[in-house]
Amino acid sequence: MKRIVIIGGGFAGLSTAFHLCRQQGHCFRVSVVDKKEYFNFLPALPDIIGRDIAPEALEYPLAAAAERGGFDFTRAEVDSVDLKGKKIICREKDMAYDYLVIGSGSETNFYGNKQIETDAFRLDNTQDSRAITAALEQDKYESFVICGGGYTGVEIATQVRMFFARRRRKKRIVIVERSPFLLGAVPERLRGYVLDNLKRLNIDIFSGNSVAAALDGAITLEDGTVFKKAMLIWCAGVKTASFIERVDAEKDRQGRIKVDAFLRFSENCFAVGDAAAFSYKQGALRMAVQFALAQGKAAAINIRRLHDKKALQRYVPYDRGYIIPMANNRSCGVALGLEISGRIPTLLHYAMCVYLMFGWEQQRAMLGSLLFHRRRRDA
């Protein structure tokens, strides 16, 4: 029986595993390897901060997912991949494979700044959300600096504002963005809508700027501005897992592995989700859950076709759009080519979140938290 090893228990990795095991008459032993014990539902992590969604509602044990899907789960941290020897080297043990899928996702990029990495908060998993919420509850900071003016930075800033609005506390919230303006890839009208909403929420923007230092509660920007008694949340970019640096494959500037039209980067080896740089419209396809899920399915199909000595199928992205959720429900985005704003994109965002969650227990917990938040807000 051929062995397929999938590195990463996120959306892309689990999509690959489930689709492989659902194939009629599948003849593989499928193993998912991840250093984490739980799958984290990343699209709703900021809601732990502003909407009081229980972190447990966004966690699903990978061992339970493996039992449900019919594959193996090994909790281990990958150090490197030996493409010639067809094995992955983990701190705990080595694992041989016949087919390899790298779907290890992405993580916060501190660009080598160890001091900021030590002092800043990040948002990569539910533990990070717990840490941010605990720090906010201590009430020892007067200013909150969110470094990074992309989708995540905007959403986190609004969630922090809602956290303090519910407690009737006045705090300064700042977004710092190195580029001349926020959300550079977003259409101008939607970008204007976001800026208007941030102004409504009294969130300051320092564009064309960056964080130079963060030490002992003082945050200094490159232009000399200093925030005292300040907390730094870093979301100024992402990178791939560290072991990918040592994979013998071509990569883009974010460290994503460049793949061909079939999602392969080497013989019998595939990369999917945030770990993959798929060429699309004169650039790399953006990181998004919808593409991670679709690529997982496409890789599963092509592994089977490769095994059966059939022609591989090209992966063709279908972009349904995106949503920039903001905690006061004035969200915006593009859905099926149409620009939308207001409450409708907010509803679409949470409807999609509930739809994509594992099992009724997680869906019920998510719905319960959202409804409880709405009742309390309207009281």
Q: Which of 11, 40, 8 is nearest to 289 (CA)?
A: 11
* Per-state percent for the chain, helix, strand, coil, to nearest 5: 35, 30, 35
Q: How far apart are CA 360 and CA 172, in angstroms?
A: 39
Per-residue pLDDT tens for 60-86? 999 999 999 999 999 999 999 999 999
pLDDT score for 376:
46
Give the angle subtended at the CA of 192 by the CAs of 279 and 351, to the nearest 5°. Answer: 65
CA 160 and chain centroid, separation? 19
Q: How far apart are CA 266 and CA 268, in angstroms?
A: 6
Domain regions of the chain by residue span: 2-35+76-108+238-307, 114-236+321-378
CATH code for the domain defined by 114-236+321-378 = 3.50.50.60
pLDDT score for 377:
47
- For residue 185, CA distances in Å to 131, 179, 181, 343 come to 30, 11, 10, 22
Q: Which of 34, 107, 40, 104 is nearest to 270 (CA)?
A: 104
Q: Provide DSSP, 152-215.
A: HHHHHHHHHHHHHHHTT---EEEEEESSSSS-TTS-HHHHHHHHHHHHHTTEEEEES--EEEEE
pLDDT score for 92:
82
Q: How far apart are CA 77 and CA 83, in angstroms?
A: 17
pLDDT tens, residue order, the chain (379 aa):
899 999 999 999 999 999 999 987 778 999 999 999 999 999 999 999 998 888 988 999 999 999 999 999 999 999 999 999 999 999 888 999 999 999 999 999 999 899 999 999 999 999 999 999 999 999 899 999 999 999 999 999 999 999 999 999 999 999 999 999 999 889 999 999 999 999 999 999 999 999 999 988 899 999 999 999 999 999 999 999 999 999 999 999 899 999 999 999 999 999 999 999 999 988 899 999 999 999 999 999 999 999 999 999 999 999 999 999 999 999 999 998 999 999 999 999 999 998 998 777 778 877 776 665 554 444 3
Buried (b) or exposed (e) across 117-141, using 16+ Cβ within 10 A? eebbbbbbbbebbeebbeebeeeeb
CB–CB of 345/351 below 8 Å? no
Which helix H or strand E contains 233, and what residues bound it? strand 230-234
CATH 3.50.4.10 fits 2-35+76-108+238-307, yes or no: no
* Pairing status of strand 264-266 against strand 257-258: unpaired
Q: How far apart are CA 128 and CA 378, in angstroms?
A: 29
pTM above 0.75, yes or no: yes
pLDDT score for 373:
56
Q: Is 63 helix (H, G, I), strand (E, B) or coil?
A: helix
Measure the CA dihedral 302/308/312/316, to 10°: -40
* Pairing status of strand 78-82 against strand 87-90: antiparallel
DSSP letter for 279, please: B
- For residue 348, CA distances in Å to 7, 162, 197, 207 come to 31, 20, 19, 29
CA 75 and chain centroid, separation? 20
Tell me, yes or no, if the two domains 2-35+76-108+238-307 and 114-236+321-378 fold the same way. Answer: yes
Q: How many other C-beta atoms are found inside a 10 Å radius of the C-beta of residue 208?
A: 13
pLDDT score for 372:
59
Q: Which of 50, 209, 49, 218 is nearest to 119 (CA)?
A: 218
- For residue 59, CA distances in Å to 42, 126, 363 come to 9, 8, 11
pLDDT score for 39:
96
